[in-house]
Structure formats: C-alpha cells, structure tokens
Chain A
Amino acid sequence: MGFSINDKRPLPPVGATKKNITCEFCIVGCGYTAYKWPKGTSGSDKRNALGVDFSKQQPALGVWASEQMVNSVIDRDGKEYNVMVIPDQNCVVNLGQNSARGGAMAATLYSKSTFTRDRLKDPQVYGGNNLNRTTWGDATDLAARVLKKIIDNDGPDQIAFKAFDHGGGGGGYENTWGTGKLFFKAIQTRSAAIHNRPAYNSEVHATREMGIGELNTSYYDTELSDTIFVIGANPYETQSNLFIMHWAQNLQGGTIDAKKKEFDRGETAESGKIIFVDPRVTSSITNAVALAGKDNVLHLRIKPGTDVTLMNALFTYIHEKGWEAKDFIKKHTENFKKTANANAVSLRKASKVTGISVSDIKKAASWIAKPKKSGHRPRTAIYYEKGIIWGIKNYENVASIANLAILTQSVGRVGTGVCRLGGHQEGYVRPETPEGMPGRKNLVVIDAEAAEGNYLAFFAWGCNPFVDSIMGERLATSIKRRSDIVKKAMSRNIGADNETMADAIYRACKYDGGLFMIDIDIYPTFKSEVAHVEFPAATTMEMNLTSMNGERRVRLSEKIVDAPGTAKPDCLIAAEIANAIKSLYKKEGNTKMAKRFEGFNWKTEEDAFNDGFAGQGAKMDSQGGPTGVLASYDLLRANGNNGVQNPIKKVSNGKLVGTRRLYTDNKFGTKSGKAMFQPTPQPPMPRQVKNQMKKYEFWVNSGRVNEVWQSNYHTSRLPMPSTRWPIAPMEINPKDAHAKGISNGDLVMLHNDYGSIRVVAYVTDSTRSGELFVAFGFPNSPLNNLVTDFVDPDTKIPFYKGTAASMRKIGRVEDIANTMSFKSRI
C-alpha cells in the first residue's frame, strides 16, 4: 500500500484514447477532453498523454486533473479502464476552466464502486411487487401491446408523454429527434409536456413572437458590452464559466483592447458595468463587486413579481430622456407608440411598486441607454433566466424585457444581445406537432390532467415530474394511486403471456382509472416506484451526442465509455418502441398503421442525427434550420470543441462556418421582418398565490446552488455535493430566524395548502426578512410540493418562483447539521 485513495491519480499514457466531450450540464457547454486507457497501464509523471511534466508543481491555471476528474470503469468487453475528463484549454468557451459541476463529469460515470452503481442497466417490467430485469424484446413487446390497444380503441391522445426537449446530458439532437418522431409522427399524440413544465410550450414565446430568437448573441460579444443587464439569474452559480471567463474579463477591464478593435471609430471603450435585478443578494452580485468595484455594479433589489413594472419604468424613462434608438425604431420595428402609451408609468409609482429607489431606476436607465462620452449608444447585453421566466406571468415578463432591448437596439450590434441565460444546453429537432395541436393559449396542462385521472398511458422520459412540476405532492399522490390500480391487475395475472398481460393492463386503465406508466431514465427515482415498464438510457460520454450552447455553438460530444448493462441512447429506445408497435401492426396485416411506425431503422445515434438535424433542414422544427443539412458527425468532429455556431453558413475547406450574432441585418422573425413591441401591463398576483400569501407567513422564492445539477440525479451521488447539500437548504434572514428561534442546521418543515417539505435552515443576509429562498430540484425535499397550480394562461408556464408557506421547527439531525458548512455564501 503506497498511497491513500485520494492523494495520487493515475495519468493517461501517451497514445491513450482521446475524445472531445461537451460538458453534459449547463447551457454554457464547456469543452472537455476525455482520456481512456487500460487499467494497470499508466503514463509517468514526465511522459504522459497530457504532455505535462508532473515531476514539477504545475502553475496556477495550468493543466490538472482533480480527484473527481478520474474514474475507473468496466466496458462491455469486460475490461477495466481508467478515464480522465479535464477541461480543454483550447475551447473558446471555457479556456481550460471547469466549474464545480462540469469538473465532476468523470465522477458521474457508471462505476461499480461508487454511488453511480445504481444506474439502470436493463429494461424492467413490474411483477410480484417489484420491477424485474428483462430483455429489450420482452419489455418493448409488452409496452407496444398496451400502446397499440390504446391507439386502436381510444386514440393516440390517450398516450401522454413528458420528455426532455433540451441538449446536453439526457438530451441532444439525436434524442429529441428520436422521441419526437416516435410521439409526433408515429404515435401522433397531442398530449405532450416538457421535462420541467406541465405543457408543451416554449419558455420564451413572447420574444419569439416579437421577432427575436432567445439566443441571439455570442459569449465573446458579452466581453465587449458596456453594460450587462441581468434579470432573474445567478450566473456565477448557474452559468459559471460565462461569468468567470467572459464577463469577469469585461468587468475587470481586460477586454478594452478588443473593444477598441470592434467598436466604431472614436467610440468610448471602458471596462464594463453590470446591473442585477434580484430580490436576493447573490454570489454573482458580490463577486461582480469584487471584479468591477461597487461603483460599476448596481443591484436592483426588487419586490417579487414586480419586474414588469421595473422594465416599463426603464422604458418610459429612457423614452422620456430621448435615449431610445430612434432611427432603428422607425425603420425596423412596429407597435412602438401603442406600447409606449400602454406601458407608461411614473418613476414614483414604479419605485413604490418595485421597492427600488427612483435614483437607482434612473441610474440603471442611464447605464443601459444614455449616450457614452463619445456620443455613441452604449452596447448593452440583456440576460434573463428562470427568475423571470418562471415569474408572475411568463409572457409579459419576457416581453417587457424584449421591449427594452428593441427600444435601445440591444440586439444585432457588437456587444449587445437579449438572451435567456439558459439552463440545459439546447438540442431541439422534432417533427411539427400533430395536426390539431392547440396553440399556446389553449395548450393542455398535461400534468394536472394526469393527476385528475385523464390519459391511459404516461411516458416520463428523462425527467422527474415529481420534482419539476406544479403541485408536486398532489401529482405524486395521484399518479401513485393510479399506478397501483395497474399493478394490482398485473399481480392478478402473474405468469400470463404479454398479450394477456397487456389486456389486463389496458382494462385496468380503461375501466378502473389506472395509468400505465413507462419510465425512461438513467437512475431509479420515485418514478421507478410507479413504473410498470422501465427502460435504461445512455447519457453523455456513453454515446455520441450533439447539442448547442447558449451562443448556439453546436458540438459533437463523443462516446468514450459503454453505457451500463444494455442501456441505450434515447433515440434508439424510441426506435425499439416504434419498431415493436410496427411489427404488431404488420402481424395483423394493418399496413397503413405499420407504415406510420416506419423510419426507425437506426443502428446508431449517428443514424438518428443524419435523419433529424442533418436530414430535415427546414422541413422540420429544427434549431439547425435549413442549413442544418450541411452538418455531419465527421465535420463536427473536425471542428472539435469549438464546433460551429448555428445557423451554419457554409462548409469551407472541410470546416463548418457559423454565425456569431443574429439580426445583424435588422431583419427579425415576424411576418413584416420588423421587431414587434408588445404592451406589457403589470400582471396581478394570481389568485392561488394570493390565497397562500393570506394564509401563510413567508414568501417562498427558489433557485439553485451551484454544485447541484437539475433534479440532483448525478450530483446527489457524488461525495462533494452530497456532503455539502444533503437536503435542500432554506435561506432565512437573521431577523426572521431569531424571531422563529431557528438557527443554522435546524430542520424546518415548510407547509401550505399544496403540500409540505423538510429543509435545513441556512441563516443569511442574502434573503430579506419575510422572504425565504429554497433550493429547487432536491427529490428529498422537493420545493415544488409548495408550488400552486397556477400557470400563465397565455403560455401555461408555471409561477414556480412564487408561493407562500409557514414554517415549523422540527429539530436537528446531527449528521446534517454537523457535516455541512453554514458560512455565508455571499
């Protein structure tokens, strides 16, 4: 025994397999390099695949693999390998930098000796009180038989699905295409919902309808902005490398030379300023102050739900001062006058509504729009995310921000843009939704319908509806009850062949209120407890996967290891299901229906890519657009971790050439080609939320902590994040904590009419008195249990960020209270 487990790492030998990986986590999509080599072999400290001499201490910001960046795996050939995944110095997105999430990618790999060992390995079918491992043929046959009965007797809309629509891990163009083709072209259901919300909608309908796609600039452009305006986002923790690699440079004055090069002649070029609209003091804000100095950071500490009034006040004041982009408005926009009139609000009134001082509103307006010393219009990049998207009313919230961008021409020009910051990467290519799919105002709220007893079958695909939907507790209770009805029917038919079993399942759904649940995922979750058939999926590093990041940068993230057991890419799972249904129709001689399920003759994920993103062009709903057809795995591989920014312009010398910024020609995505202002009156507090506010003591806001990704599926299995955050923290102001007799580490129950959760108290000035902040997405303390059933009637996007609850101190669990730090994070 020479060394302990954690003070030495193996090094890849020269010649180790080397692949490009795009980070599977957030929208920034940082580039990584993965190495794989047989266990037992190793590079030496002087000679290794990294080309780094580790006999010497490496300098800061150098190449290094931390403990979490190395793992050992067993491939399907039965051989053991070491795998190292480190940030790529040559990727323009992250320049060799990792975040707390992406840096742990190697640790997320399936390994028999860590907590990732519970990955789903084979298909499973319910029987005898358990899910039982079985073959793909058996599981798909049973599922196909039930689904076929529903399609034939009740119509495809009785099959509901809730699935990812994104890129990165658990998504990507291959997989959105595979699932989309299954549901929209083959099954043809209109009962569709997206992974983190209860309907099949966009989170940014408003900006799209105003003619501006939500990802229209580049990260490089944000290095050139005079002002970065951030609304409802905490990028240090959730788009980390955008903040620390790109914005930090700008805020510190490190990009002034680049500005001089890119700006107009004689235009003032100084270090950037930043404005945050947030009810909390976040680490993004305190770190921005450390970078830019407090005179260059403005925090507008807004009262919850009043963002629209703030945006309208900024609009009104900028217009009043004559700082709007007059020429641009005249030539390239419409609906300006009507919007200006409808949105007019006095600064005094706005200050009262939002809680922000008149002088701060004026200051923000001048940073956003007041001509610079040289007389040039400032270059403002506007960024927003879930704090506004999941706010009081999704449509107006987003529209009011886009209004401000159009007013100040903060789009299309160097250093500008009006973008969502994003959660996952993007990865959308799907057939158009089936005929008769309701428009955005009439979309069906699928999760609520399922909870009320509608649908006969329900797919939960690569998502956890019980953590990421409205009124989580009610939804879980109802689905469990309906699932149990099917389970009882299955238990009564133990030993039956698949046709008899499918019939029993179908009858339980049709006549007894049951719901046939199909789960597709990588880990067991609460879904496994309600599933009747479960399929194991592959994810990043286990398959080739293409996605695009927050600046539309498409990369091929390559396969480096085998997925556990017989797990498959989601696109190939979709193909298995489609082919199984097809063969049933064929057997009964129904060629018409069999034809509907054709087109899934894919052997690999590359086949699905070539059929979808690279095959459809403008024919389908694809982020690649008409020029997506120029892409191929080979070309993307050649462009490496820097990929190509959508839309692809051309192929030149074997390289894909893309687009840095959109709308440089001032042609927008409306019928007229003009950007469209929209009147955005301040939305009222929804009735359901108001009721909770009347009955319960605290306003409850929610968001993320940086180490935890999404529903915590990987991160709860990693040593560091699981120790740091054993359950969801609840930030509480010291004054409220004192009044309630609560101290750091106390276990607290939050409850309201919709449900309850247990959280751990974290006393901090980050949060104001009367307001709590709870981390979102923890399956062991799901905040959405407290979320009401309100959705914006115009988009069906929930108000996840707004509810109210009272608290009850429960006591202490020492293992939680003593193992996590409660020191200030701001």
Chain B
Amino acid sequence: MKEPQSSRRGFLKAAAGMTAVAAAAPALLASQSSKNGNFYGYEEKVVGLASKIKGAGEMDFNYPDVDSPCKAVMVNGQIKAYSLLCTHKGCPIMYNATKKAFRCPCHFSEFDAQLDGQMIIGQATENIPEILVKIEDDKIIAYGVNGLIYGRESNIKG
C-alpha cells in the first residue's frame, strides 16, 4: 500500500534526493531551506568518527541539541542513528546489539535498528525518529531528523 502523503519512507527518499540536488545546485536548495542554508533548518553537526563506531558498534551523541540523546549504530554495514527517547512516553530506550533493536524499559516497546526504527512491538504510535547522517572524511555529520522527537512540538526549538 502506498501512502498518499509524505510518508516516513517517502520522506527519506526525498531526503536522499535533496542531498543529491544540493551537490549539483546549492542555490536551488538554499532557496528551499531555512536561514542557515541547511536541510529543513537543521544545522549540520559533526557527532563522531566513523572509524570509531566501526570498532565499538555504537556511539552516543546529542542532536539537534543537548536535550535530545541519540545513538549511532552499525547495521547492515552502515551507520544508522536514532533518537533515544521512546516515541511512546519518552523513556530512554536501550540498544540490544545482538538483536540490533532498541527496547524501552517503561512499557516494552521495541524498535528495529535495521529497518529505519520500525516498531517491532509496543505502544508507541510512531517509529523511532531516525537521525539523518552522512560521512565525510571519517566524520559523521548529523544533518536532519526524520520524525518528531518525543516531548517536543518541533524538533528544532525556538
């Protein structure tokens, strides 16, 4: 079933498209984005080193601000990153590296780190927001969030 409006999956595809456009025609993107010229108003932020995650398997960071804990993990040979605030009621979710899934200790929602944070089981109404990252010269750069972070009316405060 295809969703008629911008679905999470659709949004991701759009995101990939836009970064490609950005390389080709930065002026066009700038006209569609916020004051600082970044992706939908998100600031780019270097959050860690890819070489380190490849060893450790996971890495904590905050994005888009200090109040939003996130984790980057290695899955399917790729770095993926997610919000750590459960989309049910905001408890901090825990990563299970064997299952490659997050579990919430409060009411046991689980999210698949290999499938864009899809809820495996649980009480949330949303998948876990994915932090969009790209790698440049070993630097992991966060540049956007797909999905509303728990406890906010807008991912970018102010």
In chain B, residues 8-23, which have Cβ atoms closer than 8 Å to a Cβ of chain A? 8-9, 11
- With contacts A55-B158, A821-B120 known, is A723 near B40, CB below 8 A? no
- The reply to whether the CB of B3 lies closer than 8 angstroms to some CB of chain A is yes
The 8 A CB mask of A48-60 against B (1 = contact, 0 = none) is 0000001111111
Query: Which of A244, A722, A820 has its CB near the most chain B CB atoms (within 10 A)?
Result: A244
In chain B, residues 103-158, which have Cβ atoms closer than 8 Å to a Cβ of chain A? 106-108, 110, 112, 114-115, 118-127, 129, 144-158
Query: Which of A58, A60, A236 has its CB near the most chain B CB atoms (within 10 A)?
Result: A60
By the criterion CB–CB under 8 Å, are B3 and A66 in contact? no
The count of residues in chain B whose C-beta lies closer than 8 Å to any C-beta of chain A is 60
- Cβ–Cβ < 8 Å partners of A237 in chain B: 121
CA distance A291 to B45 in the complex (A): 39
- The reply to whether the CB of A97 lies closer than 8 angstroms to some CB of chain B is yes
By the criterion CB–CB under 8 Å, are B153 and A825 in contact? no
- Cβ–Cβ < 8 Å partners of A7 in chain B: 40, 129, 145-149, 154-156
One of B1, B87, B126 near A716 (C-beta < 8 A): B1
- Cβ–Cβ < 8 Å partners of A706 in chain B: 121-123
- With contacts A1-B32, A64-B90, A825-B121 known, is A58 near B152, CB below 8 A? yes
The 8 A CB mask of A174-211 against B (1 = contact, 0 = none) is 00000000000000000000000000000000000000
Tally of contacts, chain A with chain B, CB under 8 A? 179
In chain A, residues 232-268, which have Cβ atoms closer than 8 Å to a Cβ of chain B? 236-237, 240, 244, 248
- With contacts A3-B40, A6-B6, A724-B119 known, is A62 near B90, CB below 8 A? yes
CA distance A68 to B112 in the complex (A): 19
- With contacts A58-B152, A66-B87 known, is A103 near B123, CB below 8 A? yes
- Cβ–Cβ < 8 Å partners of A559 in chain B: none
CA distance A9 to B154 in the complex (A): 6
- The reply to whether the CB of A645 lies closer than 8 angstroms to some CB of chain B is no
A104 smallest CB distance to B (angstroms): 5
- With contacts A2-B40, A69-B125 known, is A723 near B4, CB below 8 A? no
A486 smallest CB distance to B (angstroms): 32
By the criterion CB–CB under 8 Å, are B112 and A67 in contact? no
- With contacts A2-B40, A114-B4 known, is A66 near B124, CB below 8 A? yes
Query: Which of A66, A283, A819 has its CB near the most chain B CB atoms (within 10 A)?
Result: A66
By the criterion CB–CB under 8 Å, are A823 and B101 in contact? yes
- With contacts A823-B99, A825-B121 known, is A66 near B155, CB below 8 A? no
In chain A, residues 366-420, which have Cβ atoms closer than 8 Å to a Cβ of chain B? none
- Cβ–Cβ < 8 Å partners of B4 in chain A: 113-115, 117
- With contacts A1-B33, A8-B148 known, is A66 near B154, CB below 8 A? no
A43's closest neighbor in chain B, by CB? B153
- The reply to whether the CB of A153 lies closer than 8 angstroms to some CB of chain B is no
One of A10, A54, A720, A824 near B126 (C-beta < 8 A): A720
CA distance A720 to B116 in the complex (A): 12
The 8 A CB mask of A1-38 against B (1 = contact, 0 = none) is 11111111111000000000000000000000000000
The 8 A CB mask of A295-307 against B (1 = contact, 0 = none) is 0000000000000
By the criterion CB–CB under 8 Å, are A283 and B108 in contact? yes
A707's closest neighbor in chain B, by CB? B119
B126 smallest CB distance to A (angstroms): 5
By the criterion CB–CB under 8 Å, are A6 and B148 in contact? yes
- The reply to whether the CB of A325 lies closer than 8 angstroms to some CB of chain B is no
By the criterion CB–CB under 8 Å, are B127 and A720 in contact? yes
One of A2, A54, A98 near B41 (C-beta < 8 A): A2
By the criterion CB–CB under 8 Å, are A67 and B147 in contact? yes
- Cβ–Cβ < 8 Å partners of B86 in chain A: 60
CA distance A428 to B147 in the complex (A): 41
By the criterion CB–CB under 8 Å, are A723 and B9 in contact? yes
By the criterion CB–CB under 8 Å, are B11 and A5 in contact? yes
- The reply to whether the CB of A287 lies closer than 8 angstroms to some CB of chain B is yes
In chain A, residues 47-87, which have Cβ atoms closer than 8 Å to a Cβ of chain B? 54-62, 64-69
Query: Which of B87, B101, B107 has its CB near the most chain A CB atoms (within 10 A)?
Result: B107
By the criterion CB–CB under 8 Å, are B110 and A823 in contact? yes
A780's closest neighbor in chain B, by CB? B1
Query: Which of B146, B150, B153 has its CB near the most chain A CB atoms (within 10 A)?
Result: B153
- The reply to whether the CB of A640 lies closer than 8 angstroms to some CB of chain B is no
- With contacts A69-B125, A821-B118 known, is A4 near B153, CB below 8 A? no
In chain B, residues 62-88, which have Cβ atoms closer than 8 Å to a Cβ of chain A? 67-68, 85-88
By the criterion CB–CB under 8 Å, are A68 and B89 in contact? no
CA distance A236 to B86 in the complex (A): 17
A116's closest neighbor in chain B, by CB? B4
CA distance A665 to B11 in the complex (A): 60
B44 smallest CB distance to A (angstroms): 16
- Cβ–Cβ < 8 Å partners of A569 in chain B: none
CA distance A1 to B40 in the complex (A): 7
- The reply to whether the CB of B91 lies closer than 8 angstroms to some CB of chain A is yes
- The reply to whether the CB of A99 lies closer than 8 angstroms to some CB of chain B is yes
By the criterion CB–CB under 8 Å, are B115 and A821 in contact? yes
A103's closest neighbor in chain B, by CB? B125
- Cβ–Cβ < 8 Å partners of A60 in chain B: 85-86, 89-92, 106, 150-151
- Cβ–Cβ < 8 Å partners of B126 in chain A: 66-68, 720
- Cβ–Cβ < 8 Å partners of A651 in chain B: none
The 8 A CB mask of A562-578 against B (1 = contact, 0 = none) is 00000000000000000
- With contacts A68-B125, A100-B123 known, is A45 near B153, CB below 8 A? yes
B68's closest neighbor in chain A, by CB? A57
By the criterion CB–CB under 8 Å, are B33 and A99 in contact? no
CA distance A726 to B156 in the complex (A): 33
- The reply to whether the CB of B34 lies closer than 8 angstroms to some CB of chain A is yes
One of B40, B90, B107 near A59 (C-beta < 8 A): B90
A601 smallest CB distance to B (angstroms): 41
CA distance A11 to B154 in the complex (A): 10
CA distance A64 to B87 in the complex (A): 10
- With contacts A726-B1, A824-B99 known, is A283 near B121, CB below 8 A? yes
- The reply to whether the CB of A290 lies closer than 8 angstroms to some CB of chain B is yes
CA distance A61 to B110 in the complex (A): 17
A670 smallest CB distance to B (angstroms): 40
By the criterion CB–CB under 8 Å, are A66 and B118 in contact? no
- Cβ–Cβ < 8 Å partners of B125 in chain A: 66-69, 98, 100, 103-104, 107, 720
By the criterion CB–CB under 8 Å, are A99 and B123 in contact? yes
Not counting A7-B40, A60-B89, A66-B125, a sample of 17 additional A-B residue pairs whose C-beta atoms are within 8 angstroms of each other reads: A1-B40, A3-B154, A3-B155, A4-B6, A6-B148, A7-B148, A45-B154, A58-B152, A61-B89, A61-B90, A64-B152, A99-B123, A103-B88, A103-B125, A104-B125, A113-B5, A723-B7
Q: Can you name 12 A-B pairs with beta carbons within 8 Å? A: A8-B153, A9-B148, A10-B153, A45-B153, A58-B90, A64-B90, A68-B126, A97-B107, A98-B123, A115-B4, A719-B7, A720-B125
- Seen from chain B, the residues whose Cβ lies within 8 Å of a Cβ on chain A are 1, 3-9, 11, 32-34, 40-41, 67-68, 85-92, 99-101, 106-108, 110, 112, 114-115, 118-127, 129, 144-158
The 4 closest A-B pairs by CB, nearest first: A58-B151, A57-B67, A103-B125, A60-B90
